[in-house]
Every structure is written in C-alpha cells, then in structure tokens.
Amino acid sequence: MASSASGIQLATQSAWQQFKLSLVERDADRAEQQARSLRSQANAAQREVSRAQDNARSLQVQAGKAEANADQASRGIAAVRTVEDMGTRLSAVYDRVAQVQSVPVETTPSDAVVNSQGQVTGQVVSVAA
C-alpha cells in the first residue's frame, strides 16, 4: 500500500506541477501579449511625435515666410508714406511758386535807365507848383 500511496502522491505532484506550469505559461503568454500591445502603442506614439515634429518644422517655415512678408509690407508702407510726404511738400512748394507768380511785378518805362545803385533815372519830374 505504501507504493500505491506514493504513486498517488507522485501523480498528484505531477498534476500539480502541470497545473502550475500551465499557469506560468498562461502568465507568460499574457505578459508577451501585453508587451506586444505596449510596443505597438509606443510605435504609434513615436509616429505621432514624428508627425508633430514635421508639423512644427512646417509651421516654423511658414512663420518665417509670414515674418518676411510682414517686413516687406512694413517697408512698403514706409515707402508709401515717404512718397506721400514728398507729394505734400511738393504741393506746398508749387503753391508758393504760384503765389509768387501771381504778384504783379513793377515795370519801368522803356526809356528809363537803372543806375549802378538800382535807382531808375531819366524820368520826367514836374517842378511846376
């Protein structure tokens, strides 16, 4: 009977070890499955990071172009203001020239002579009084 009890004990131990082995294998399969899932998530996250970095680089390039356009527009505005200012000043000069031309000029008789001191000579003066 001792041998049958030890045979049962060996069979029970073998079944228990088989059960434990199947639990360990199942845990290993779950761990491997979880590792694959996490690796897949990590790869997806890495692709998302790459897309975000590409997008950031593209936005940097677009921002640089926008800044260049803004600078060019500012220079254009300054040029327009300079031209407007010059137009205003030219208009003021034109108005002054027009005013000077509209003032009547004193004319001297054709037989009058101007001496070296700028005086008109040769005019007839009446001395009757």
pLDDT digits (tens, 9 = 90+) for 14-30: 888 999 999 999 999 99
Q: Check: CB of residue 114 under 8 Å from CB of residue 102.
A: no
Q: pTM here?
A: 0.48
Quick one: pLDDT at residue 111? 64
Which amino acid, one-letter code, is at 32?
E
The pLDDT-based confidence of 8 (bands split at 50, 70, 90) is confident
Residue 112 makes CB contacts below 8 A (sequence gap 6+) with 120, 121, 122, 123
CA-to-CA distance for 63 and 55, rounded, in angstroms? 12
Q: What is the pLDDT of residues 61-103, one digit of tens each?
A: 999 999 999 999 999 999 999 999 999 999 999 888 888 777 6
DSSP letter for 111, please.
T
Quick one: pLDDT at residue 106? 61
Q: What is the pLDDT of residues 99-121, one digit of tens each?
A: 877 766 565 556 667 777 777 77
CA-to-CA distance for 16 and 20, rounded, in angstroms? 6
Quick one: pLDDT at residue 123? 56
